[in-house]
Structure 1
Amino acid sequence: MSLPPTFLLTANQSSNESDRAVLGVERLVLVAVLGSEVVLGVTGNSLLIYTKIRLSQCRRELHSQYVIALLSLSVSDLGCCLLIMSSSLLAVLMEGERSPWCEIVSLLKFAFITSSLGSLAILCVQRCVGVASTGSWKTVVVVIACITSWVTGLVFGSVPVVFQWIRYDPAEMLCAVFWQDSYSDMLLYILSAFSLCIFTPLLIIIVCSLLTSAGLSQNCGDEDLSSVTPLLVAVYFLCYTPFVLSELILLGRLDLSPAPDWLRTLSSVMAYLDCVLNPLIYCTNQDFREAVLGVLWTNRKAKVQPVLTSVVRLQV
């Protein structure tokens, strides 16, 4: 017995309305989550950078050992909050992104990932070998290493833009790389990018962390703000695990189909969460926490000394 056409039409309309309601709820949840991450990330990282600059100007010893790598990491997190996270929020609200901002965001996203991971690797190396960034030649080396991580990310991020592999992905809430032509091209690019930008820094971080934990390093001092490095590394690994899994799934599929939508959405949300949590991790250091409170609540008024500008002779 076949169902009447009117019944089928009503059932289809009910199903479509139900799907739209579910999508509406998911969209509201994403807007709330992304909005919260943007506000917290921008506020936290801005305060973090401002505090570091203030302490550096006051010549406080808290940040003197590793200020360059820590500042590079904070700038990367702030850039991600201002440009990438806000772009995802706008993309969800406007249901897409347009060129050329689409390609720019894709390029910057990879640059921020690479620079933050590179900054962590540099920080771990400094703590392991006991090389502070206070000497002249040491400062130059650390600055060059940080700039190299940024430039490497920009170079590999620009390759998909040049070859027009970029299009908007509703699951990632950003423009991402989509492969349509050649599995060999995709494999070559991902292996090259991950080998230089991801796996090499990760290997450095793991080796240096193990040496430091085993007491085989020449640490410059655990009282420095770099004492939060192990927690920064652990949270980074946790937050970027979904991203790595989604890329590994892509590598394992010969038909070039991406990872499931829910995993790609989770990878973006968790990657953004890392930028939000980093300022909170810094505040686990008691000295830095006190410094932040001092910047927020202490009103320092400059003492103005009288200056003799002129002499007037009075006639008596």
Structure 2
Amino acid sequence: MNKKKWILLCILIVVVMILLPLSLSLLFALITALLLDGAVQRLQKHLKFGRGLAVFAAFTAYVALLGMIGYFTVKVVFDQFVSFASSLPEIIKEVYASIIQPTLTKWEQVQETIPRGVVQSLEESFTAGLKSFEEGVNGFLNSLLDFIAFLPGFMFEILIYLIALYLFSLELPRLKRMIADSLTEKTKEKLTLVLEELNKAGIGFVKAQIFLSALTFVMAFAGLSILGVPYTVVLSLLIVIVDILPILGTGSFLVPWAIYAFFQNDQALSIGLVILFLVITVVRRVIEPKIFSSSMGITPLAALISLFIGFKLLGFIGLFAGPALVIVFDTLRKARMIRTDFKF
């Protein structure tokens, strides 16, 4: 009998692993329903709402909050993006007049004093650079078209997510009873402990990410405002996005900008951008392990190692998967489902 149970469990795990990538909307809906269940229960307890009315109230408030955040974010970003796009031709013209044209003029004067072989090699390198730049622009445009094509499917996924969230919220007590009835008391105790720890760590992880991103946005917005840079909201959001990537995330945005400002003879802006880059990078890297450790209940060293190894192995996804695996392992160890008290 035990053997049959293990076989069924293995089959179930394989099926879940196959279906999980195809059911992310449903998975996120279930997780959200679990997170909102506390609010639903409080409405039932304090306001004496029935389950259906409590779920409807919590769901409506959640959707309204998402809608407000989405509306204001899209509005601000769209307005500043349109303003930036309208000034882009002038920026390109200025770059050509102040950097490209003087460089070409100097090159025409200098190339007469350089051996022909060196000139040819430099011209080939320049041509290769232009080709790479052209390929990069084409890649960006293709990515933009792919994103536009992706939007209808994304909106459909959002619709499925919201419908599933509402239905999961309604059915959550029955789902919990079904799972509880199929488990022994000992297994229920362990599973309850695991779920409580994972829920606590998961909420802590989300809070840590939101706090770090908000801190980065504030530092970027304040720094760009002091430097008198336009489109501060859009640029600060871009800095937040690239800063999620570890090591030198903001460097891929701020350093080229600082170099451009230097060639524009705007040394104050160039130095200011470098200082802003250093401040954001140092502050984030110093407090990141501490924030993760205090939010998720793991040590700063474990948080730092999990972030670093996770990124090295899985890239961006590893930033989430690394700490998550540490949390799962630590939770299973506390539930004594994994034994670590052995000796060699």
* Larger radius of gyration between Structure 1 and Structure 2: 2
TM-score (norm 1): 0.28
- Greater RCO structure (CA 8 Å; 6+ sep): 1
Which has a greater percent of helix?
2
